[in-house]
Homo-oligomer: A and B are copies of this chain.
């Protein structure tokens, strides 16, 4: 006789389970902090997303819901805790509530985005500093770092949020999910559901497998491609037992290498798995 979690609560719990999974080499987790970015900032960040996720679940424009979720997430002193994870979760939450939580359902949500969603997405950057790369060629007026000041340029260009993501899909692991029907996210969910044991341990294992499978685009943006490929190869070595995963966690944190995109995909996978009945 328990009360079922809502879709919004599953999104929030996915963020919490993601950060609690350990060891997740390079990222804040239950056992690792950065000097100015602590576990508790992620707890407050997750709590703060509630209203934004509720707006998405209620069918409000997803750009507006996203912006609200980021405004709530930012009410802590750690800075950008879950920007990418919330961005990844946004079409998933909308699909689970308004359509169906499948590749087709998420693609329908992405295809239905508008220019207003793009404007709201840019506005979200006013709330928090996010590490981003230079805009693609021809996109300088839409540099995301302009935040809400880019509104006129966005409206002139008439670009929907789905179209904006498509422009970045080749260089950004989250944009790539948006435009691929959330391929890696649904695969992560399947892997989480296949495994047994505590969910946070499954999340850590799936994180490592994802990290070994592709270069993390957040590491490329923040460091360079060479570093991201090293991270991928060493995660592969850890998977094969040739590296100690706890040592790897210490080393990556000391070097400031936090594979954020991979963590975001794990959060998305956790959400899908929770919606499909994974018990905690």
Interface residues of A (CB under 8 A from B): 1-5, 9, 12-13, 16-17, 20, 30-31, 38-41, 43-44, 46-48, 50-51, 68, 71-72, 74-77, 126-127, 198-200, 279-280
CB distance from A30 to the nearest CB of B (A): 5
Task: Note all chain B residues with C-beta closer than 8 A to A31.
Answer: 30-31
Residue ID in chain B nearest A203 by CB atoms: B40
**Contact status of A200 and B38, CB under 8 A, knowing A2-B72, A3-B72, A72-B3:** yes
Give the chain B neighbours of A2 by CB distance below 8 A: 48, 71-72, 74-75, 127
**B16–A71 touching, CB < 8 Å:** no
Chosen A-B contacts, 5 in total, with CB atoms closer than 8 Å, are: A2-B75, A13-B47, A31-B31, A43-B280, A50-B50
Copies in the assembly, this chain: 2
Judge whether B47 and A5 touch: CB under 8 Å: yes
Closest to A4 in B: B75
Looking at A13, A31, A43, A68, the one whose CB has the most chain B CB atoms below 10 A away is A43
Pick the contact of A280 from B12, B50, B76, B200 — CB < 8 Å? B76
Distance in angstroms from A69 CB to nearest chain B CB is 9
Q: A2-B74, A3-B75, A44-B280 are in contact. List 12 more A-B contacts (CB 8 A).
A: A1-B127, A2-B75, A2-B127, A3-B48, A5-B72, A16-B16, A16-B46, A30-B30, A31-B31, A40-B200, A40-B280, A43-B280
Report B-chain residues with C-beta under 8 Å of the C-beta of A72. Answer: 2-3, 5
Within the complex, what minimum Cβ distance (angstroms) separates A27 from chain B? 15
Cβ B43 vs Cβ A13 within 8 A? yes
Bound-complex Cα distance A107 to B14 (A): 37
**Shortest beta-carbon distance from A33 to chain B in Å:** 8
A30 cross-chain contacts in B, Cβ below 8 A: 30-31, 39
Given A3-B75, A200-B39: A13 and B127 interface contact (C-beta under 8 Å): no
